[in-house]
Amino acid sequence: MQTLDTPLPPTRVILEQGTLWGRWGTRLAWAIASISLLVAMASFGANQQYFQTDAKVVEKYDSLSRVASAKVAIVDVSGAIMGGSGFTRWQLDQIEKDETVKAIVLRVDSPGGTVSGSDEIHYRLARIGKKRNLPVVVSMGGIAASGGYYIAMANGGREDVIFAEPATLTGSIGVIIPHFDLSKLIQKFDITDDSIASGPLKEMLSPTKDRTPELAQREREILQTLVDEMFGRFKQIVKDGRPKLDEDKLSAVATGQIFTAQQALDAGLVDRIGFLEDAVTRAVELAGLTADTARVVSYSRPRSLLDEVIGGNSSARGRGTLEAFAEWTTPRAWYLCSWWPSLISSQ
């Protein structure tokens, strides 16, 4: 028993010290948070086009000087040409607004497409070239046939501006309106096309309608007249783009035949055999620029965050399926190097 005279035991004060992991764990957490913030800011800056709902094309550096202000723009036309309001149109709209573009390289890798789509692209490209006095140089990829060759004629009639790669297939100058007669086939399954129409010619391209020989002949004559008129326009477009081709030479190549690069060169359909880099060099020259004063740019489609997650372009896949179905079920005239256009979908 302690009394008042008994001394108290010494008081011990214990200071809890954090463990080594506790100290460094806090610092590590702050470091991770800071790095995450920096990465997020950098990602937003690099991928801000994902959040630009009005952005239809994204410009990217391709070659030559990175710091030059004057641009040579590569316009890409790939796949079947279904219309003039898609990615090609967006690229041309971008160029029309960009005063720093001094020349255009039209990169064509297409078997052609609809008459109206090919004609609209040709018109818009030729209009921009004339309005801005922009030289247009053509670089043909694996194939630049029919409607693909048609749009290549938007070069202002300049010399030495159409380049075909050694393995390019081109030409196929002509028009086709596909038509398939399935009426005998469906009769085997006891199926009858009993469509109600305002007149016999309303069903002119129906693949399931049984026709009398007289009506079939009348339809064929009408369709041939349409084809002949569109073919005449195609040949005039070629004359404008290749002024050195006289009537006899044009008639010799405007047979629907497809040509190799060397055959096309010999026939006067192209100017040189060369690659994209050669076409770019020529465009730089025509624009009065040099490798040090020209920046070559190209355009791509913006990719959404969903595209990054699932891969590809989700909206393009949806549109492609619908467009392919619509094209298969809609009668159209084609500048197309193919006998089965329904299997070709727009890219």
Residues marked active site are found at: 146, 202
57/300 Cα distance (integer angstroms)? 6
153/321 Cα distance (integer angstroms)? 30
Which residues make Cβ contacts (< 8 Å) with residue 302, sequence separation at least 6?
49, 50, 52, 55, 56, 57, 58
110/347 Cα distance (integer angstroms)? 10
231/35 Cα distance (integer angstroms)? 63
Buried b (16+ CB within 10 A) or exposed e, 204-235: bbbbbbebeeeeeeebeeebeeebeebbeebb
144/260 Cα distance (integer angstroms)? 11
Which residues make Cβ contacts (< 8 Å) with residue 106, sequence separation at least 6?
75, 77, 125, 136, 137, 138, 139, 151, 152, 154, 155
Instruction: Return the percent helix, strand and coil in the chain, to nearest 5.
Output: 45, 20, 35
Which residues make Cβ contacts (< 8 Å) with residue 120, sequence separation at least 6?
83, 84, 85, 89
- Cα 220–Cα 225–Cα 228 angle in degrees, nearest 5: 120
230/224 Cα distance (integer angstroms)? 10
